[in-house]
């Protein structure tokens, strides 16, 4: 893929986030990031293609609007966070960047009904902030963000859910007794 092809395609006005992803050969596991969109827009603007830059910046704005975790994703790694925990992750991210501005994420996800954050920081305070966020996730429904508790499905899946969401999933979730 050459820069000329990308510029030509964007200059024709055929741009949207999914369109750019498809054109650049990205798949769901390898997303077109906000940083890439802004970089492409800068490249187009630098080369005198103001229309193309404006179109790509609009796509980047769209990406930012539909992905509240866009800033977190810029720090690398895979970020797969249930919507009920987005607020916890955004709050954690702001605190971590204040402690270690160069922090990179290797992975942020749900595992066994709990938030897991794998990162590059050696700062003790970063580890403490992450432990606190992980503990908060154990009391927050991963589906809706309301107060929740650990549940186990009849198939052995662990999730932190509120009573309402546990019933909606129809997986036979039962509350796990806390130790």
Tens digits of pLDDT across the chain (179 residues): 345 555 554 444 444 455 555 445 444 444 556 667 777 778 778 878 787 777 777 777 776 666 778 788 888 888 888 889 999 999 999 999 999 999 999 999 999 999 999 999 999 999 999 999 999 999 999 989 999 999 998 888 899 999 998 888 677 889 998 76
pTM given for the model:
0.65
- Say if CB 76 and CB 104 are below 8 A apart: yes
Around 67, how many Cα atoms within 13 Å sit in the side-chain half-sphere?
20
Q: How far apart are CA 20 and CA 85, in angstroms?
A: 28
pLDDT of residue 16: 46
């Amino acid at each position: 893929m050459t820069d000329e092809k990308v510029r030509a395609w964007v200059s024709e006005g055929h741009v949207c986030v999914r369109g750019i992803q498809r054109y650049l050969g990205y798949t769901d596991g390898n997303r077109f990031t906000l940083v890439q969109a802004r970089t492409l827009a800068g490249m187009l603007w630098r080369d005198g293609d103001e229309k193309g830059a404006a179109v790509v910046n609009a796509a980047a704005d769209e990406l930012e609007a539909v992905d509240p975790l866009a800033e977190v994703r810029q720090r690398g790694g895979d970020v797969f966070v249930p919507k009920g925990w987005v607020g916890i992750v955004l709050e954690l991210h702001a605190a971590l960047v204040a402690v270690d501005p160069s922090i990179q994420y290797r992975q942020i996800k749900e595992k066994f009904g709990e938030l897991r954050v794998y990162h590059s920081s050696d700062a003790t305070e970063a580890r403490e902030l992450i432990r606190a966020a992980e503990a908060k996730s154990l009391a927050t429904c991963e589906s809706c963000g309301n107060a929740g508790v650990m549940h186990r499905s009849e198939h052995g899946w662990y999730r932190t859910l509120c009573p309402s969401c546990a019933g909606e999933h129809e997986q036979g979730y039962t509350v796990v007794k806390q130790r």
